[in-house]
Amino acid sequence: MVDAEDPITSPLFRPYKMGKFHLSHRVVLAPMTRCRALNELPNQALVEYYTQRSTPGGFLITEGTLVSPTAPGFPHCPGIYTDEQVEAWKKVVNAVHAKGAIIFCQLWHVGRASHPVYQPGGGTPISSTRKPISKAWKILMPDGSHANYLPPHALTTSEIPAVVEDYRRAALNAIRAGFDGIELHGAHGYLIDQFLKDGINDRLDEYGGSLANRCRFLMQVINAVVSAIGAKRVAVRISPAIDHLDASDSDPLALGLAVIERLNKLQQDLGSQLTYLHVTQPRYVARGQTEARGQGSEEEEAGLMRTLKNAYQGTFMCSGGFTRDLAKQAIKDEDADVVSFGRLFISNPDLVHKLKVNAPLNRYVRATFYTQDPVVGYTDYLFLGQEQVTNRPASRL
């Protein structure tokens, strides 16, 4: 039984102007690693995956996309640092645009969340620190096994500008590929977050210690990217309260506000806003890393998120464990301007329509999140009204 909503009165389906972009609804495809880009090249499977999830006036964010050869920490993630990768992404972008949707490329460097097997010449992953991620976490290896993280190389101050330049070039490449803009992944324990969080960053130079110093690398990357492609095509994702991959901080609210203070000042100085700020709800850890089926409370972590939302002068995007009702409430209460959905979008390519009519949702299969199969668990989830095919196409692997 479905219960269609009036798009005029439903918070999730009110149009929204996000910077220069006119959205027809507030349901965003969140960036999610899927490991289907064999040899770091987007392929036809990615074309189909993103096209399936495109709607007229909808907004999509790609999976984390590698800014350099040292950036990966998962098998078969796409890159955006070579001409071949740029050409391959054009097919995805063109297909999404043909459906009337808008798409941003998430720029990603995992930092210490890597392994020599993913590094050029078997080198040591880079980070803000020499401390490895604890043995409570394991890295997925190319053969499907799991291993411990190893001690990284702490970037010297003289090495950091080259990494900033990697982000700048990647942003330019994303625009060459036709993307409408980029999102900087500064969350979830990856490289930028490794500078932000005092639970990781133990530096004694101008990149460590105080909040101002720990924000320095992020702001250098933002400034470089904005100077290359313009603020209106740039967004930032942070997760101050998330301890994924040991990324803890002693004062998440102060950290989040410190970042926002600098973003607001940048926007004021430029006379132009970033596209949005994307913040992950703390319940991402509690619910996102398990198969928990309980409904999260609409007031969960509300104080921290509401404070960040009220402080930021621009579009505020939330993600992390949202259900239909939680998302509607967040928009209604003005705790978010737009909401990004992850796992529910994996198993429901037509999630926008299903949320609109309140249709039952397909359950996702976690075991297929990070495989290389171009069909199973990737593009074979059913749309509303489709019947299960007994003899479905076999994997092309």
In this structure, is the dihedral angle defined by the CA atoms of residues 47, 192, 109 and 75, taken in order, positive or negative?
Answer: negative
Nearest to 34 by CA among 346, 270, 359, 397: 346
Cα 42-388-95 angle, rounded to 5 deg: 25
What would the 3-class secondary structure string for 297-339 be? CCCCCHHHHHHHHHHCCCCEEEECCCCHHHHHHHHHCCCCCEE
Q: Which residues, in sequence order, are CB contacts of 328 under 8 Å at separation 6+?
A: 10, 11, 12
| 31, 183 Cβ separation under 8 angstroms | yes
| 190 catalytic per annotation | yes
Q: Which residues, in sequence order, are CB contacts of 83 under 8 Å at separation 6+?
A: none
Q: DSSP string of 138-171?
A: -EEPTTS-EE-----EEPPTTTHHHHHHHHHHHH
Q: Which entry of 50, 81, 118, 190 is annotated as an active-site residue?
A: 190
CB atoms within 10 A of CB 224: 17
In whole angstroms, give the CA distance from residue 41 to residue 9: 42
Q: How far is CA 225 from CA 135, 164, 188, 197, in A?
A: 34, 9, 20, 22
Residues annotated as catalytic are: 190
